[in-house]
């Protein structure tokens, strides 16, 4: 049971985000000139993430979580190539995509690139290297994953130089399909403290990400930790996902901008 004060905090976060939402949608759709469109999309994304958390943790609505995380992931993917958008410098975009259970979104996120990823994903000492390994794990590209794992064990951070040669890191256990070993490791990782104000009291970032990757690959790990809810682990796509915003629908073209755009919108009222 989530403490009432935490429910209250989530609702306050959502209310503040939704107050800004109409203006952000208007700017992205109708006021695109001299606007950092990626940053605007990031702002539009936040309410979808919070709605997903509210849906499940306040109302027990798993469908609502998947739907909202799907929309959040669509917005994040769109933002990658735009000024001020997400740089994919952490695994959070993959985290939300996995929890949407949408196969297309998971696949797109696992193949996505950004300047940050391209610059660092071949350096075992860079955080982008691990994110790329998580992407490869989601894609099921075990050949590429093994090659990166070998380099990580030799040239990566001290933590991995100690665990990879012994096969005790997450990726080694995943490739070996060692369910017992994975469960023990994820159980430990779930205890790590997160600093994300939206999820830190409800979900373990690393624990959920690792467990979800296991289930995606058919390894049905069982984790006994409140921040790794097992109800979220099965890969069960919704029958239908709603695009929600007009600009996410196929074939959308930005309407006329500037004075002519305002006049057209006014005449259409």
Reported as a single tens digit per residue, the pLDDT across 209-245 is: 999 999 999 999 999 999 999 999 999 999 999 999 9
Rounded Cα distance, 128 and 119, in Å: 8
Quick one: 72 and 100 in the same domain? no
Quick one: 101 and 200 in the same domain? yes
CB-CB contact of 86 with 93 (8 Å):
yes
User: What average pLDDT does the chain have?
Assistant: 94
Longest dimension (CA), the chain: 69
DSSP symbol at 254: P
Quick one: 40 and 98 in the same domain? no
Quick one: 109 and 70 in the same domain? no
Q: How far is CA 204 from the centre of its chain?
A: 13
Quick: pLDDT tens for 70-106. Answer: 999 999 999 999 999 999 999 999 999 999 999 999 9
Rounded Cα distance, 180 and 50, in Å: 33
Residue 239 lies in a domain: no
The pTM assigned to this predicted structure is 0.92
- End residue of a domain, out of 39, 68, 86: 86
Closest by CA to 137, choosing from 199, 69, 215, is 215
Closest by CA to 30, choosing from 268, 267, 251, 259, is 259
Quick one: 22 and 131 in the same domain? no
Rounded Cα distance, 224 and 215, in Å: 15
Residue 198 lies in a domain: yes
Rounded Cα distance, 5 and 58, in Å: 11
pLDDT mean over 25-41: 93
pLDDT band at 8 (very low <50, low <70, confident <90, very high): confident
CB-CB contact of 53 with 69 (8 Å):
no
Q: Which residues contact 261 (CB under 8 A, 6 or more apart)?
A: 30, 255
- Stated as kind and residue range, the H or E segment containing 10 is helix 4-30
HEC string of 228-256? CCHHHCCCCCCCCCCCCCHHHCCCCCCCC
Residue 242 lies in a domain: no
Q: How far is CA 65 from the centre of its chain?
A: 12
pLDDT band at 3 (very low <50, low <70, confident <90, very high): low
Which residues span the domain enclosing 10?
1-86
Number of domains the chain contains: 2
Residue 268 lies in a domain: no
Which pLDDT score, from 0 to 100, does residue 33 have?
Answer: 87
Residue 173 or 253, more confident: 173
CB-CB contact of 127 with 133 (8 Å):
no
Quick one: 25 and 1 in the same domain? yes
Q: Which residues contact 141 (CB under 8 A, 6 or more apart)?
A: none
Quick one: 94 and 198 in the same domain? yes
Phi-psi region of 225 (alpha: psi -120 to 50; beta: other; left: phi over 0): beta
Which pLDDT score, from 0 to 100, does residue 128 have?
Answer: 98
Rounded Cα distance, 247 and 25, in Å: 9
Residue 223 lies in a domain: no
Quick one: 97 and 182 in the same domain? yes
**Where do the H-state alpha helices sit in 121-197?**
127-139, 142-155, 158-163, 170-176, 179-189
Q: Residue 172 — φ and ψ, nearest 5°?
A: -65, -45
Quick one: 179 and 155 in the same domain? yes
Quick one: 74 and 104 in the same domain? no
- End residue of a domain, out of 201, 218, 235: 218
Q: What is the dihedral of CA 241, 247, 253, 258, to 10 degrees?
A: 170
Q: Is the pLDDT of residue 1 over 50?
A: no
């Amino acid at each position: 049971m989530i403490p009432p004060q935490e429910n209250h905090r989530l609702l306050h976060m959502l209310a503040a985000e939704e107050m800004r939402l109409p203006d952000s949608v208007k700017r992205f759709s109708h006021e695109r000139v001299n606007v950092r469109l990626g940053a605007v999309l990031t702002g539009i994304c936040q309410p979808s993430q919070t709605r997903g958390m509210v849906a499940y943790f306040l109302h027990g609505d798993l469908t609502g979580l998947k739907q909202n995380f799907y929309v959040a992931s669509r917005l994040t993917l769109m933002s990658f190539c735009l000024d001020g958008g997400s740089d994919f410098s952490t695994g959070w975009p993959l985290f939300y995509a996995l929890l949407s259970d949408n196969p297309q979104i998971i696949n797109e996120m696992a193949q996505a690139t950004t300047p940050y990823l391209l610059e660092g994903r071949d350096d075992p000492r860079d955080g982008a290297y691990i994110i790329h390994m998580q992407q490869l794990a989601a894609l099921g590209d075990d050949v590429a994953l093994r090659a990166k794992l070998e380099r990580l064990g030799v040239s990566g951070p001290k933590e991995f130089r100690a665990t990879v040669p012994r096969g005790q890191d997450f990726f080694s256990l995943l490739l070996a399909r060692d369910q017992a070993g994975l469960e023990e490791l994820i159980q430990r990782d779930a205890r790590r403290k997160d600093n994300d104000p939206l999820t830190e009291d409800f979900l373990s970032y690393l624990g959920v990400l690792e467990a979800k990757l296991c289930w995606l690959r058919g390894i049905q790990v069982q984790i006994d930790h409140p921040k790794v809810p097992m109800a979220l682990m099965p890969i069960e796509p919704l029958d239908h996902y709603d695009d929600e915003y007009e600009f996410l629908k196929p074939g959308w073209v930005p309407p006329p901008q500037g004075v002519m755009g305002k006049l057209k919108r006014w005449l259409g009222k």
